[in-house]
A and B are shown apart, each in its own frame.
Chain A
Amino acid sequence: MGVFWAIIGVMGGLGLLLGLGLVWAHRRLPPDGSTIADAVEALLPQTQCAQCGYPGCRPYAEAVADGAAIDLCPPGGAETVEALGRLLGRQPEPPQNRHPAAPQNPPAPASQAAIAVIDETRCIGCYLCVRACPVDAIVGAPQLMHTVLADQCTGCELCIEPCPVDCISLRPVADPVDIRPIRIMARPRNRQPEHPELSCIRCGACQTLCPEALFPQELLWYARNEAWEAAADRGLDACIECGLCNQACPSNIDLLTHFSRGRQVLAHQAQARTRAEHARERYGKHQERTLARQAERDNRRRERLSAGGQRPWQR
């Protein structure tokens, strides 16, 4: 029986002692930071855009695990800040605590988030932005125009810098005016003449090709003089911006740029017009309601006077 208790004592004591030793070692050693950094990294958008001031998402995640501000990630937007705050139980810090290289403005809330938009009439199909895009939101092929998939774009701005013709700009997502040129034919690069535009020789080649049966030659005339109203009367709205007129023109006139610009101007005008009409309508209705109320009040007063100046409950 003595042996039995000795065994119990030795094994139990040994287990307790070693377990306590391990717990002590666990406490003494610095906590394992990598797991926090892993969790943070999982929440970051992995665009590797370096807008946070760190070279990539992993370094930023490690910095956050070490206590850097959580609101430095513009592509992640407000969602990421919120998720990081939930994970770490921290609030975005005041601006003076920021990393010196960090952007001065915190990411905009989702309603003001911006996406990149390529001015496709100016795109020369160099493919540089496609390579730069970390989320594959730009589609296109070399020598052909590129465009941005709006729902994929994170607004990281990485494509803006490589563009040799500066045709990429950020546009707020909430901007309702979004005239996407629907150009089918791209302008081949080797057809760029030394003098971009010679005068129109009125050959009519563009007219024969236009799939919408417009008269590009005439539209160009209005467009050059910015007579957009007149151009609209001649059917500029119907232009599908296919680029066939550009292909046809022997003088290498970039008709499409004029037409896109015109369509944009017209769209803006139309938008302004609708807005004005809405306002006018609202004002009219408001006026109507006010007049109706006034008339009702006058009626009641007249009634009261005819009843001898007494309030209804005094009668």
Chain B
Amino acid sequence: MQELGLIFVGALLVNNFVLAQFLGLCPFMGVTGQYRPAVAMGMATTFVLTLSAATAHVLYHQLLQPLGLEFLRIIVFIVVIASVVQLTERVLRNTSPLLHQILGIYLPLITTNCAVLGVALLAVGKDMSFSRTIVYSIGAAAGFSLVMALFAALRERLDHASTPAAFRGAPIALVTAGILSLAFMGFAGLAD
């Protein structure tokens, strides 16, 4: 149990996928202009990430390993992720058309979010059990959502700050991301 907790905290904070492993930077910079879409994006990615990591785990251990086709894992995982994203988009369009419109192109782009593929590949690579994979992916997804929310809130405040003209917009956002990343480095040693 404690081990599961450590895996969760490790994926959430210490080895945060965005700020420590630098995966999934596209939505991190792209959708964090406003708080609400950023949180929604985090939710959508959480759903996709957890579901696809679990499916990938099952497929890898039940299908690819017995057949000796481990080298196919990347392409198989990508196919799985793409289908899950399609499903998410479909569900979101029905349940919340407004959110669907706000997220726009970033929703199908979850497919190319490397954090999603990264979690599936890392979980498989570390030879985790199914339950650990689930916890690991939930932790990673929560970490992603947390960082999205934090960064979006920071950027919303930055919009109203008197930034020097040269730093306005993307430059100050990148600087902020760097400082946020430094802050997350402080979690090192908390868990593995």
B168 at the binding interface (Cβ < 8 Å): no
Of B22-30, B62-70, B150-158, the segment with at least 4 beta carbons within 8 Å of chain A is B62-70
CA distance A29 to B86 in the complex (A): 13
Query: B90 and A26: CB pair below 8 A?
Result: yes
CA distance A29 to B64 in the complex (A): 32
Query: B97 and A25: CB pair below 8 A?
Result: no
CA distance A26 to B75 in the complex (A): 24
**Size of A's binding interface in residues, CB under 8 A:** 17
Interface residues of A (CB under 8 A from B): 3, 6-7, 10-11, 14-15, 18-19, 21-22, 25-26, 29-30, 32, 34
CA distance A29 to B94 in the complex (A): 8
CA distance A30 to B59 in the complex (A): 30
B123 at the binding interface (Cβ < 8 Å): no
Of B76-84, B169-177, B180-188, the segment with at least 4 beta carbons within 8 Å of chain A is B76-84
Query: A18 and B83: CB pair below 8 A?
Result: yes
A29-B91, A34-B97 known; A10 vs B63 contact (CB < 8 Å):
yes
Interface residues of B (CB under 8 A from A): 59, 63-64, 67-69, 72, 75-76, 79-80, 83, 86-87, 90-91, 93-94, 97
In the complex formed, the residue of A with least CB distance to B79 is A14
For the complex, would chain B's binding face be called helix, strand, loop or mixed by DSSP majority?
A: helix
Q: In the complex, what's the smallest C-beta–C-beta distance from B188 to chain A, in angstroms?
A: 39
A residues near B80, Cβ cutoff 8 Å: 14, 18
Query: B90 and A7: CB pair below 8 A?
Result: no
Q: In the complex, what's the smallest C-beta–C-beta distance from B99 to chain A, in angstroms?
A: 13
Query: A30 and B79: CB pair below 8 A?
Result: no
Query: B83 and A21: CB pair below 8 A?
Result: yes
A residues near B67, Cβ cutoff 8 Å: 6, 10
Query: B76 and A3: CB pair below 8 A?
Result: no
CA distance A22 to B76 in the complex (A): 16
CA distance A6 to B70 in the complex (A): 12
Query: A22 and B69: CB pair below 8 A?
Result: no
Query: B69 and A18: CB pair below 8 A?
Result: no
In the complex formed, the residue of A with least CB distance to B95 is A29
Query: B87 and A25: CB pair below 8 A?
Result: yes
Query: A25 and B76: CB pair below 8 A?
Result: no
B residues near A34, Cβ cutoff 8 Å: 97
Which listed residue (B59, B63, B87, B93) contacts A22, Cβ 8 A?
B87
Query: A29 and B75: CB pair below 8 A?
Result: no
A residues near B87, Cβ cutoff 8 Å: 21-22, 25
Q: In the complex, what's the smallest C-beta–C-beta distance from A25 to chain B, in angstroms?
A: 6
Q: Could you list 19 A-B pairs, sorted by A, with CB under 8 Å? A: A6-B69, A7-B72, A10-B72, A10-B76, A11-B76, A11-B79, A14-B59, A14-B79, A14-B80, A18-B79, A18-B80, A21-B87, A22-B83, A22-B86, A22-B87, A22-B90, A25-B90, A32-B93, A34-B97
Q: By CB atoms of chain B within 10 A, which of A3, A18, A21, A32 has the most?
A: A18
A residues near B63, Cβ cutoff 8 Å: 10
Q: In the complex, what's the smallest C-beta–C-beta distance from A248 to chain B, in angstroms?
A: 62
Query: A10 and B69: CB pair below 8 A?
Result: yes
Which listed residue (B59, B79, B90, B97) contacts A29, Cβ 8 A?
B90
Q: In the complex, what's the smallest C-beta–C-beta distance from B69 to chain A, in angstroms?
A: 6
A10-B63, A26-B90 known; A3 vs B83 contact (CB < 8 Å):
no
Q: In the complex, what's the smallest C-beta–C-beta distance from A314 to chain B, in angstroms?
A: 90
In the complex formed, the residue of B with least CB distance to A26 is B90
A residues near B64, Cβ cutoff 8 Å: 10
B residues near A26, Cβ cutoff 8 Å: 90
